[in-house]
Amino acid sequence: MEWRTRWHITVRWDRADNSPAGVTVVERVVEIPAELRLMVNAARADPHVVAFPYRRVRALVGDEPQHCRNGHSYAGGSATRPVRDWLPCSCGGHLVLRCARCPDVRVDPVVSADCNPSTASDGQRPTA
């Protein structure tokens, strides 16, 4: 898994019949800065657009790990299901999976040099 930046933009028109969509408000999520730039430029050029606020959001994308680093599956009943925790961090946070069959603790996405996670529930900073 990894954190990806996305942008939420809301475009408001003065009247629905002046909007290409036929409504006064259109909300979109864009994935790349170039797409946001196109929407902002179009909104600036349209004299009927009264506002176009946008904000950056971070989204956690990708699949959760299915096995611990020692190969034990996380699928199944309570005997194999990992203990799940959330580690708050300035990057957005980290999913912590503690294997039920061995001492492996997996942090996803990996804690990087620019992260500052808060202390884990057991009082120790997890390692990736």
Mean pLDDT over residues 103-113, rounded?
Answer: 87
Q: Which two tokens stand for residue 78?
A: 């309570």
The closest alpha carbon to 107, from 97, 118, 120, belongs to 97
Dist CA 123 CA 57 (whole Å)? 30
Strands (E), the chain: 2-13, 25-30, 49-51, 54-61, 83-87, 94-98, 105-108
Residue 122, pLDDT > 80, answer no
Q: Where are the domains of the chain?
A: 2-60, 65-128
User: 86 and 121 in contact (C-beta within 8 Å)?
Assistant: no
pLDDT at 119: 53
pLDDT tens digits for range 36-83: 999 999 999 999 999 999 999 888 888 888 888 999 888 877 767 778
Burial class (CB in 10 A: 0-12, 13-18, 19+), 40: middle
